[in-house]
A and B are shown apart, each in its own frame.
Chain A
Amino acid sequence: MALVEIENLTVTFGGAPAVRNVNLAVGEGEAIGVIGESGCGKSVTWLAALGLLPGHVAIDGQVRLAGEDIRGAPPKVLDRIRGRRIAMIFQDPASALNPTKKVGRQVTEVLKLHRGMGGDAAWAEAKRLFDQVGIPDPAERLKAYPHQLSGGQNQRVMIAMALAGQPDVLVADEPTTALDVTIQAQILDLLKVIRRDTGMALVLISHDLGVVAEVCSRAYVMYAGTVVEEGTVASLFSAPSHPYTRGLLAALPSLGGPVQRLRSIPGSVPHPNEVGSGCPFAPRCDEGISFCQRASPPLRQLSVEFRHAVACLRRHSIAIGDMVEVAA
C-alpha cells in the first residue's frame, strides 16, 4: 500500500475543472516528481489533497494517507496531518514566511504543535534544524525576520520548518523556481541529503524535467489538469511516449549549455474553460490525427515494470474495441 494515494481527483473553481481525474501514488520513502508547464494543475492537485484550497472550491475523488481517506476530513483531523504527516513548502520563500515573526518562532510553532516542545528545548531543536539545513550561525539567524535573510536562506528556513514536524512526506512545490541557479543546485542537494538522512518521501513539483530527474525516481507529467504520462524517470527519459513529454525533453538545455525556459513547444497551456472534449494537447501537437480532437485518451499502461503509462491515442495499440470504448 502506498503512503499517499490520490484517486480520481477533480478540482473545480466554478467553471471547468482545473484538475481532472488525477491518479497519483507516493510510496513510503519514495521521491516522485510532478512535471508540467505553468497552469497545468500541479499545485492545485496537492493543495486540494491537503485541504488548503478555499472552501468554495469543489473537490472530488479520494486522497488516502496510509489507506485512510482524508479528503474533506474535518479541520481537526487535517491539522494533525498537515505539517506532521505531510509537510508542504512553496515556491516563493520570501512571501511564504510571515514577515512579522522571527523565523525561529515560525519553526518552534511547528515543534510545539506536533512534538509538544516548548521553551528552551524547542529553541535548541530549531537551532539543530537550522544547522541541518545548512544555515550558518543558526543561533543568530533564528532571531532574524524573513526580510533580513536571502531567498535561499528563507527556503532553507521553510525546509527546516517542514522537517520540524518529522513528516512522512514532504511536498515541495517548485522550491527552487524563485532562486538563482547556484542556489537552486544547493537547495536540490539539500533535499537529496535530507532524504538520505531521514528516509522521508518527497513530492517534487517542478516545470523542469532536469530537476526532477536529478532527485526523483518516478515522475508524473501533467498537462491541462490531467496526467498525460507517468513512469520511472529512466523510462520517461529513454522512451518518452507522449508528444508533450518529448517536447519537454527537447526543451532541456544540453549539459553545460545555457539555461532556458520551456518555450520550445509552440503555444501555451489552455485555460480550464478552453479544454474541449478531445485530447487537451491536440491543438499544440504535431503528431495528432483527426480523432485526437474528438476523444480524450485515458492513461494506458505501456510497461508494468517501469510503471510507465501514457494518455495518447497514437501510442495506444488501438483495437477496434478500444476505439468504441474511447469514443463512447
Chain B
Amino acid sequence: MLIFALSRLLRAFITIALVVSFAFVALRLSGDPALEILSSDATPDAIAAFRSAWGLDDSIGVQFLRYAQAVFAGELGHSMRDGRDVLTVVAERIPVTLAITLPALMINIVIGIPAGVVAALNRNTPLDRILMAGAVAGFTVPSYVLGFGLVLIFSVWLGWLPSGGSQSWINAVLPVFTLGVGGAAILARYTRSAVLEVLTQSYVRTASAKGVPWRHVVERHVLPNAAIPTVTIIGLMVGHLVAGAVIVESIFSWPGIGRLLVGSVVSRDLAVVQGILLLVALTMVIANMAVDLLYGMLDPRTLSRRHK
C-alpha cells in the first residue's frame, strides 16, 4: 500500500514536471516577450535592458534550471507586465474561476447522472431517445457556439440576463450553464452505458431471483456498481471544465484564470502563463488522485488487484 501510494506520488510529480517543462520550452520558442510587452517604439537599448532584467539573454537550459530551482523554493517569479508576484496574481483569480467551475461541475453531476440512469432504465423508449438526443446535441455543439447562442437569446433578444461581467451572481448564470452543459451530456452518455452494462450482469438477475423489488435492485445492486466507471468520467470532467473555462471566461468576460491565461499568452507574460499551467497540472493530478481514492472505496476489488 505504501509502495503504491509512493509510486502514485512519483507519477504525479513526473506529470507535473513534464507539463511545466514542455510549457517552458514552447513558450520560449514561440515569441519574444520583450517585443510584446514593450511598446513598439521602444529603443534597442530598452529592449536589451528588459531582456537582461528578466534573464532572457541566457541559454534556454540555464533559464530552465533557474526556473526549476525557483519553483522548488516556492518562488514562481513575477509578472512581466506589472511586476507583481505570480502567486498573488494567479491566486486572486482562483475563487473567480471556482465560482463558475464548481457550479458547472454540480450541473454535470446533477443533470448528467440522473439523465443517464433514467435513459438506461427506460432503454429504447421515447424517453431514452429524447434524453440521448439532448446529450448528443449537448456535446456536439461547441461551447463558444452555445455561449453566443445563449447571449443572443437571453441577453440580446429577451434582455433577461447580462451577457458579460462579474458584478453579481446573475452574471454567472450564462457562463455556468454554458460550461456545464457539455459535461452533463458526456456524463449522461457514460452513465447510461455503465448502467446498461451492469443491467446485463448475472448478479442483477440473482437479486431479482431473491425477491428484491426492482426499485431496490436498482438502488442497491445496479447503481453502486455503475458508479465505479462513472467516477472515472467525473475525474475526466475536471479537465474538461478547466479547458472549457478558458473559452467561457473569454466569451463572457469573466475575470478568472482562463481569461488571465489568454491575456498572458497574448502578451507573452511567461511567468504568469507558467504559473497557471503549473496550477492546472496540479489540479488535474489532484483530481486523478481523488478519483483513485473514491474508486478504491467503491470497488472492494481494487485493493487486492493492487497487491497482485
Which A residues fall within an 8 A CB radius of B? 47, 50, 52, 75-76, 78-84, 87-88, 90, 92, 95-101, 109-110, 113-114, 145, 147-148, 158, 161, 165
Contacts and interface: CB of A to CB of B under 8 A. Distances in A.
B208 A52 contact: yes
A79 B203 CA distance: 16
B203 A83 contact: no
A84 B211 contact: yes
A148 B307 CA distance: 13
Chain A to chain B: the 8 pairs with minimum beta-carbon distance, closest first? A83-B211, A83-B210, A82-B211, A95-B202, A98-B203, A145-B300, A88-B209, A96-B202
A97 B203 contact: yes
A96 B203 CA distance: 4
Contact of B201 (A78, A88, A95, A145): A95
A161 B210 contact: yes
Contacts of A96: 202-203, 205-206
A110 B209 CA distance: 10
A156 B207 CA distance: 16
B209 A100 contact: no
Contacts of B300: 99-100, 145, 147
B212 interface: yes
B221 interface: yes
Interface of B: 201-203, 205-214, 220-221, 224-225, 228, 298-301, 304
A39 to B, nearest CB: 18
Contact of A79 (B206, B213, B224, B228): B213
Given A52-B209, A79-B213, A147-B300, 7 more contacts: A50-B209, A75-B214, A96-B202, A98-B221, A109-B220, A113-B210, A145-B301
A110 B202 contact: no
Contacts of B211: 78-84, 110, 113-114, 165
Contact of B203 (A52, A95, A165): A95
Q: Which of B202, B208, B211 has most A Cβ within 10 Å? A: B211
Contacts of B299: 99-100
B206 A109 contact: no
Nearest to B203: A98
B210 A99 contact: no
A165 B205 CA distance: 17
Contacts of A100: 224-225, 228, 298-300
Contacts of B208: 52, 82
B213 A87 contact: no
B134 to A, nearest CB: 25
Contacts of A90: 202, 205-206, 209
Nearest to B305: A147
A27 to B, nearest CB: 22
29 contacts: A47-B205, A52-B205, A78-B211, A79-B211, A82-B208, A82-B209, A82-B210, A83-B210, A83-B211, A83-B212, A84-B211, A88-B209, A90-B202, A90-B206, A90-B209, A95-B203, A96-B205, A98-B203, A98-B207, A99-B300, A100-B300, A101-B220, A101-B221, A113-B211, A145-B300, A145-B301, A147-B300, A147-B301, A165-B211
Nearest to A98: B203
A192 B208 CA distance: 26
A88 B208 CA distance: 10
Nearest to B221: A98
A75 B218 CA distance: 14
A165 B209 CA distance: 11
Best-surrounded residue of A96, A97, A158, A165 (most CB of chain B within 10 A): A96
Nearest to B208: A52
Contacts of A113: 210-212
Given A92-B202, A95-B202, A109 B225 contact: no
A99 B304 contact: no
Contacts of B210: 82-83, 87, 109-110, 113, 161, 165
B226 to A, nearest CB: 10
A88 B206 CA distance: 8
B246 to A, nearest CB: 38
A95 B213 CA distance: 20
A56 to B, nearest CB: 9
B178 to A, nearest CB: 36
A300 to B, nearest CB: 34
A90 B204 CA distance: 12
A67 B230 CA distance: 46
Contacts of A147: 300-301, 304
A99 B202 contact: no
A92 B300 CA distance: 20
Contacts of B304: 147-148
A161 B203 CA distance: 13
A99 B301 contact: yes
Contact of A87 (B203, B205, B209, B224): B209
A110 B220 CA distance: 13
A108 B4 CA distance: 35
